[in-house]
A and B are shown apart, each in its own frame.
Chain A
Amino acid sequence: MKLRLFAILLASIGLLLGTSVPARAHHSFGVEYDVNKPVTLTGVITKIEWTNPHSFVFIDIKDASGKVTNWRFEGYPPTVLYRTGWKRDVTMKAGDEITVYGWQSRVGGPWGHARQITFADGKKLYFGPGPGTGDGGASLPVAVPPSN
């Protein structure tokens, strides 16, 4: 519940700031991801794509019945990851267990946008921007709305 509250808080800030929020990402958060679907998942890394315009981390998630699903999480490009404290092939590697906090895709399924990753030793790093980036928030982007 706390995470849900946090997600609403972030979304509300975006809503209130409206179009004053400068572009910070290569694409809209809101088309692909749902701020009302926050997820926190712990699993083992199967693959890392340290690529542009976005990096991806793939993790195997095991549910209560033992069934394993491979999730894909999108994040910052490498230039931004370098500056936020990441080192390629050092900070995290395939086989490491991590916890990802982010938001699931609107269409459901094992696919999401990562905000923060927590490592086995408890260290945390941002892997992607917060929600509300790029889709204009809830504030109309024009001064003159249509007459109808």
Chain B
Amino acid sequence: MKKNFVIAFAAAALVALVVFSATAPAQTASPPKAGKDVPRAADGHPDMTGVWQGGSNRIGTWEDTNDGEGPLGQSGPITPFAVTTPQPKPPYQEWAAKKVLESYKMRGIDEPMVRCLPPGVPRTTLMGLFPMQIVQTPKTIVMLFEVFHLFRIIPIDAKHPDDLEPSYMGDSVGHWEGDTLVVDVTGFNDKTWLSGVGTFHSEKLHVVEKFTRVDLNTIAYEDTVEDPDVLTGPWTRHGTIMLRPGTRIREYECVENNQDMKEYEEMMKNPSVFQRK
């Protein structure tokens, strides 16, 4: 058994190295530019209209790229813009890190998505598995997400409204910097996670996202998260969002038959069954 574990772990290390090398985005000092094969809108900006999948670095249709083994379950060729460096973890203040680790210890039983709540920003943008559709016009960019039927409306060169109420997906406004769409997001509630298990935030969350369609298949993505109430400073990550030709957004309505809430309530009667030691 021990020998099997060693063999499996060594094999996993090799696979993880390959996958992770492909998972982290190419990081350059200068802002990325759209390649020659990137379609342009009438106003000259790179046109991101189409169906995409976040949390992936694989080129091809959804069917070709989501049928692999392992937790990622992805297959197919890797984009040349795949990130090659490990991504930093969020720099939580010490008290906040303790709170995150409590959730980690409980394996994310407090996951907001289990209650069918929207995953927020930036988590929704890099959500794996489920496709998203971008509809781009000169004045507004709309992002439609299959997961939980979420949407984002991003007016270009606009200001945030003065009467924002805290919300799951926040309020987005965009502008173009060269070939890059920069989206400023604020007006969040404190009920979503930033990324992994327990990565909570306050209503002071401020997110800046950068989308650059660098080739036909790839949007290079960068997000910078700030939250003075829980983080010690800004947290920046890179990722890729991949074109999914031929895919259409379908209906994923979460609350229809959500058995997990009931199961989780049962599990909470005896947390020692699932808690990390």
The majority secondary structure among interface residues of chain A is loop
Chain A residues, Cβ within 8 Å of B250: 78-79, 82
Q: Chain A residue with minimal CB distance to B126?
A: A22
> A143 in the interface, Cβ–Cβ < 8 Å?
yes
28 residue pairs A–B, Cβ–Cβ below 8 Å: A5-B7, A6-B8, A11-B12, A12-B11, A16-B20, A17-B23, A20-B87, A26-B116, A26-B260, A27-B111, A28-B114, A28-B197, A30-B108, A52-B252, A53-B256, A53-B257, A54-B257, A56-B257, A77-B252, A79-B146, A83-B247, A126-B67, A130-B69, A130-B71, A140-B104, A143-B97, A146-B94, A146-B97
B residues neighboring A (CB under 8 Å) = 4-5, 7-9, 11-13, 15-16, 19-20, 23-24, 54-56, 62-63, 66-67, 69-73, 86-94, 97-98, 100-101, 104, 106-109, 111, 113-114, 116, 119, 123, 126-130, 146, 195-199, 232, 247, 250-260, 263-264, 266-267, 270, 273-274
Tally A residues with Cβ within 8 Å of B.
Answer: 61
> A24 in the interface, Cβ–Cβ < 8 Å?
yes
Most buried by A among B107, B232, B251: B107
A residues neighboring B (CB under 8 Å) = 1, 4-6, 8-17, 19-28, 30-32, 49, 51-54, 56, 74, 77-80, 82-85, 106-107, 126, 129-136, 140-147
B195 near A53 (CB under 8 angstroms)? no
The majority secondary structure among interface residues of chain B is loop
Total A-B pairs in contact (CB under 8 Å)?
Answer: 220
Out of A53, A84, A143, A147, name the residue touching B67 (CB < 8 Å): A84
Inter-chain CA distance A144–B96, complex, in Å, is: 9
